[in-house]
Every structure is written in C-alpha cells, then in structure tokens.
Amino acid sequence: MAEPLSIKELAKSEELLVGGHRLCPGCGHSIILRQMLHASEYPLVLAMSTGCLEVCTTIYPYTSWKTPWIHSAFENAAATITGVETMYRALKKKGKIDKDVKFVAVGGDGGTYDIGLQSLSGAFERGHNFVYVCTDNGAYMNTGTQRSSATPFAADTTTSPVGKKIIGKQQERKNLTKIAAAHDIPYAAQASPHNWKDLTMKFRKALEIDGPAFLNVVSPCPRGWRTDASETVNLAKMAVDSCYWPLYEVENGKITINYKPKEKVPIFEWLKVQGRFKHLLKPENEGLVKMFQDKIDRDWEDLQKRAGE
C-alpha cells in the first residue's frame, strides 16, 4: 500500500518535467504533473493527448520530458497507452524487460470528456494496468477557449459566448468522475493541485492499483478563466471549498469524501473573480448564479448520500 510522502521527500526525486517549456505562467497543468511525477517511485511511461501540455512541452527538437513520452492524436491517449502497456507485458513475458514500469495517460477535458471518451471507456473495460489523469481546465484552452462538456454552466467561451439572447454555456457539466467510476474500475478520484498531499497520495494509490485507475484534477487556466496567474492555486482551493470540485475517491465502488469544508464558500465568491463569469455580476443574471449554486448543493448532497453519509 502506498504511503504518503512529505514535501521534503517529494523534493528529493528527479525533476522529470523540466523547465524551458512554453506553458503559460500560472498554468495548472505543470503544477499537477510535477506533483505527480515527484510522487512516483516507479519508472513511468507517459502518453498525452493533443493539447496545451503536449504542444508546450515538446517543440521539436526540444523536449521537457526526462521520462519516455508519447503523443499521437487528440482522442486516443487511452488507446495509445494501452498499446504501450500491452507491448510491455509482451516483452516482459519474453524476459526482454525486467523492471516494474507504470503507465500514465494524460488528457485535457476536451481530449477526455469529449473526443476521447470512447477510447477511455474501451481501455477501462479491457482492464489495462494504467492511470488516466484528466487535467480539467473546463474548455478547449489550447485553441482559444471553446466550450467542452466540462465547461461550467453559464461560462463565457468562444463557442458559448455571452450574447444578447444567450448568456454563456446553457448546459451543465458532464460528471466524468461518476462516469469513470461507473465502469467499476478499481479506483477513481478527484483531486486538486492546491492540496498536494491529497493529489500525490491519490496518484501513488492509483499507481499501486492492479487495473485501470482514473484521476480527475481541476486545473485553473489563467487565459481561459481570465484570472491572474498568481491566483491559480487559490482558485483551485476555492473550487474545492465551494464544493464545486469535491475531493473524493471511489475504491472498488466505495466512495470516500476526502475533504469537507467547515463552511461551504458561496460559489459567487469563486465566480466573481473570473473573467469568464463577469456577466454574472450583473443584477439581471442573479438567477443564473442561483442556478449554479443550486446545482452544486444538489450534487454535494448526492455525493454525500452515495458515500453513505
């Protein structure tokens, strides 16, 4: 069973995502990836879907990755890593590899909730030994903030703009963590980069699982959320403290809520500091804020119920 690591211990391990990449200041992705990579005691092979993290870290002839890394397309990080993992098993069986290696696929919300869902579902069902990490920043940020099925209700994106008749995204988010867990995989969890202890522990747990594991990690995006680069970790914390992004895990069907805010931060506090929600500050849009809050309350209630609380 994986044990938690102290920040000192985490800092001792080699940096596998090195500087020189072109991710924006304040990008949640690199914070999440570095926390995870420091937390692994195994050699890792990474597969990435097309997106910010991929394009910004591998501008040929340079690479920021000091561990084997593959990208092939947008919708297939899960299928790609299962190919690598299967080759690993084939070569291990033949005695050509002796090390214990772990396999991790990383996709953004576009490459996971939307275009990559089929490939992910297939990989879960086949039971490959891998961890899939979704870095969810809530839109297609790499191409200029187009809405995805992870985009929050009422958010202003370039394909769900705030217009004269339609005010931002009309639909609620897809609950992907619930969908992943519904595959009855051994481990699915939500995490946030502000709580490094929780995130690194979940990743270490996921690596120990024999079979598929899923981590959904909220990843604030200064460009798309229209927030200050210095606010990233704080925004992730508020997402959790408001119960917009509960920290919980599903282990063999059993749900555990890992953190409960003593006092739920009203969602308006989180919305009002983000440019993508600035239209919600107008008095005539109060109703939308209420709808947003009501949905969070319902979901939080439902999660507690499902956790048997």
Instruction: Write out the residues near other proteins by the rule CB under 8 A.
Output: 43, 45, 47, 54-55, 58-63, 65-73, 75-76, 78-91, 93-94, 97, 99, 101, 118-119, 121-123, 125-126
DSSP string, 6-50: -HHHHHHSPPSB-S---PPTT-HHHHHHHHHHHH--S-EEEEE-S
For other proteins, give the closer residue by CB, 41 or 125: 125
Residue 60 carries which DSSP code?
T
For other proteins, give the closer residue by CB, 57 or 242: 57
Estimate to the nearest angstrom the gap between the alpha carbon of 149 and the chain centroid.
14
For other proteins, give the closer residue by CB, 87 or 281: 87
Nearest approach, Cβ of residue 126 and other proteins (Å): 7
For other proteins, give the closer residue by CB, 92 or 226: 92
Nearest approach, Cβ of residue 27 and other proteins (Å): 17
Residues in the chain: 309
Q: Identify which of 119, 93, 115, 94 has the alpha carbon closest to the alpha carbon of residue 105.
A: 119
Nearest approach, Cβ of residue 233 and other proteins (Å): 28
Strand-strand pairing, 248-251 and 187-191: antiparallel
For other proteins, give the closer residue by CB, 55 or 179: 55
Nearest approach, Cβ of residue 65 and other proteins (Å): 5
Q: What is the C-alpha separation between 141 and 293, in angstroms, rounded?
A: 25
DSSP string, 127-168: T-S-EEEEEE-SSBGGGT-B--TTSPTT--BTTB-B-SS-BS
Q: What is the C-alpha separation between 90 and 19, in angstroms, rounded?
A: 34
For other proteins, give the closer residue by CB, 80 or 192: 80
Q: What b/e sequence results for 10-25 when a residue is b if at least 16 CB atoms lie within 10 Å of its CB, and e otherwise? A: beeeeebbeeebebbe
Nearest approach, Cβ of residue 122 and other proteins (Å): 3
- In 3-state terms, what secondary structure has residue 103? strand
For other proteins, give the closer residue by CB, 78 or 255: 78
Nearest approach, Cβ of residue 183 and other proteins (Å): 12
Nearest approach, Cβ of residue 2 and other proteins (Å): 21
